[in-house]
Structure 1
Amino acid sequence: MRRLILPLLLIGLLAPAVFASDDDHDKARRLREAGEILPLETVLEHARRAQPGKVLEVKLERERGVYVYEFEVLDDAGVVWELELDARDGAVLKHKRD
């Protein structure tokens, strides 16, 4: 499974990101430009509706041939949640307490 860590440049919205490599960033950009995945900002809106809180981490992974955004979100009660959203349409695939 190929992991892509996306740059998170939404000041005030996301925690600082760690980049796997410039190649990963370029690949994510190409996928977005080709229409294969939604922009992070769009999927972030879906994730926030599903689970309000502070986003701690975002990853883009390819699972069984499908790109998935994985989010870790800290809610107001201090609970960390794991969400997986389909990178093509933002549909919530997994929503569980971490």
Structure 2
Amino acid sequence: MKTLTTLLPALPLIVMTCVVQARGIDPQEVLRLSDEGILHTSEKLDAKALTEHPGARIIGTQLKNIYGRYVYNVELRDAQGIEWDLEIDAATGHVYRNRQDN
């Protein structure tokens, strides 16, 4: 009970921290970061995603800043109609996650 009493007042702060840690990136900022060579261009990241699933089509993309890392999310649909979610490090091009969407 004492632990619950201690954690309960901190709960809003914990939730806000989680919300703040993952944020979308302003398009102007994306262009600036790409021009400065900090991030790969969306075209290059899209090409990387498509090499993972040849013949697929991109159905959605989003760039997020998660804990200080720029992560490019790509949703693909392959020739069989299966959807895939990929997470790519926008600075290095490394594919973090490549999983079938449920």
**Correspondences of 1:1-98 after superposition (within 5 Å):** 1-4=22-25, 24-52=26-54, 53-98=56-101
- Give the structure with the higher percent helix: 2
Number of residue pairs the alignment of both structures matches: 79
* Alignment-mate amino acid for residue 84 of structure 1: E
**TM-score relative to the length of structure 2:** 0.73
Structure possessing the higher relative contact order (Cα contacts under 8 Å, 6 or more residues apart)? 1
Segments of structure 1 that go 5 or more residues without pairing to the other structure are 5-23
State the secondary structure of the residue aligned to 1:67.
strand
Give percent identity, aligned residues only: 30
Structure 1 vs Structure 2 CA RMSD: 1.0
Residue deviations 1:25-47, cap 9 Å, x none? Answer: 11110111121110111111111
Displaced runs of 4+ in structure 1, greater than 6 A? none
CA distance in 2, matches of 1:82, 1:67: 16
CA distance in 2, matches of 1:68, 1:51: 19
Deviation at 1:89, TM superposition (A): 1.7
CA distance in 1, matches of 2:53, 2:97: 11
Segments of structure 2 that go 5 or more residues without pairing to the other structure are 1-21
**TM-score relative to the length of structure 1:** 0.76
